[in-house]
Amino acid sequence: MTKTNIEKLNFECETGNYHTFCPISCVAWLYQKIEDSFFLVIGTKTCGYFLQNALGVMIFAEPRYAMAELEESDISAQLNDYKELKRLCLQIKKDRNPSVIVWIGTCTTEIIKMDLEGMAPRLESEIQIPIVVARANGLDYAFTQGEDTVLSAMAHRCPGKSLKKEDIEKTKKSNNVFVKNFFKLTQKTLNFNAESSFEKNKNDNFVYKNHPNLVLFGSLPTTIATQLTFELKKQGIKVNGWLPSQRYSDLPFLGENVYVCGVNPFLSRTATTLMRRRKCKLIGAPFPIGPDGTRAWIEKICFVFNISPSGLEEREKKIWDSLKDYLFLVQGKSVFFMGDNLLEISLARFLIRCGMIVYEIGIPYMDKRFQAAELALLEKTCIFMNAPIPRIVEKPDNYNQIQRIRELKPDLAITGMAHANPLEARGINTKWSVEFTFAQIHGFANARDILELVTRPLRRNKNLQELGWTELVKSKV
């Protein structure tokens, strides 16, 4: 990974607990992204209640996920886990017939040591559907790292080197439908990637420049992925695939000559898998959040491919000009990040560029190698804006943070839902950090959505002050 001088930043670690949403919630956006998938969450009734209550408000159609609930007898090892999971997967195959089933392991499966990785290959060969095992327990992972474990597991399933002649002959004679389908997928992907990256688009007379294969990783809505792909296309860069893809059968080709670049700061495990296991080359870039981050992300990819970027400065300036009405509201305001979704560094960097003062960046987990370019851009932004460099606290202790918030009195605290109401009652404006996870915040066009979320509590309380309601509320607290 890129080595960057980040000594000027102040890092602390308070070794507090993960005060975050449960990472099994990643199924909410992953099942929508991978359209031919089915997610089976293996846990207790508590996990089921969480999914039902936390995600039910965001889902208006029948979802492609289910709970495999463990009872007391299961936890006591009195029942056969394999038989029960086989029954459930056969039912899923009959009802939905997905291209892939993803098992999501929870805290309970970790505690009782369920051998999901051992059972999956055997069951996979029996039911003839790929089964991907991902651990997303709240003991080891923060909120958004659930996606990281799923993509890391799915990276192993991406097509790679071509098969030997003897393997091809064995595959043709095999009666295993799954083996044949995987062979067809591998050959299809190899043929697709064998085409030269120097090609012409008949519709817009556009020419791609000659460069190695590029795969982007991170789950984004299709519209946002299309926007980022188009931004790179304007620089002559062709995106050869996304991980995850919309369909499991379209997983990208991975190998030694493939370059990969992430779009989210919480995908360090996936980045490590792509480098160590699949031998890909990682492009360490800031993340495309905000116009400044998006420009730096594109420029870094262009730099690696020895391509001179064009029009990015004008593109960024145009976006900043369109944000003036929001910038007027946030300039000079202070913000405090309590830490929840691992997007804190990128969001803080963007808000500092908007003219805000960031007192503290709490973050549940920090991989300085994967976020090196983002940290360097954060420091550069603070210098450019003549703003104080915020302290960065990994695994913050919430009790200590509350004391610091009471002393600093920030204009806004971005926090998990558990602390929002108590802070509001004490006169601190808050914004749920989880909203940034589900909002569309990537790319040039979506910077406005970030500021819409940030300024909403500020605008609301300003209106209340004009009505004289805030003083009434404070007098009763």
What residue numbers does the annotated binding site cover?
22, 47, 107
Binding-site residues from annotation for [4Fe-4S] cluster = 22, 47, 107
Q: Which amino acid is at 355?
A: G
Helix, strand or coil for residue 111?
helix
In DSSP terms, 289 is beta-bridged to 442
d(CA 253, CA 181): 16
d(CA 1, CA 262): 12
Q: Which amino acid is at 438?
A: F
Residue 265 contacts residue 338 (beta carbons within 8 Å)? no
**Cβ contacts of residue 267 below 8 Å, gap of 6+?**
147, 148, 151, 217, 218, 370
d(CA 239, CA 200): 14
Q: Any idea how long the chain is? A: 477
Please report where in the chains the tokens 């295993």 appear, as a residue: 176
**Cβ contacts of residue 279 below 8 Å, gap of 6+?**
255, 256
Which ranges constitute the DSSP H helices of 59-176? Answer: 72-75, 81-95, 107-111, 116-127, 145-155, 165-173
Q: Which two tokens stand for residue 289?
A: 């959040």
Q: Which two tokens stand for residue 414?
A: 């971005």
User: What does the buried/exposed string (b/e) look like for 148-182 if buried means 16 or more CB atoms within 10 Å of the residue's CB?
Assistant: bbbbbbbbebbbbeebeeeeeeebeeeeeebeeeb
Instruction: Let me know the angle formed at the C-alpha of 11 by 300 and 417, rounded to the nearest 5 degrees.
Output: 90
Please report where in the chains the tokens 């789950």 appear, as a residue: 219
Residue 264 contacts residue 218 (beta carbons within 8 Å)? yes
**Cβ contacts of residue 130 below 8 Å, gap of 6+?**
99, 100, 101, 124, 157, 178, 182, 248
**Cβ contacts of residue 204 below 8 Å, gap of 6+?**
none
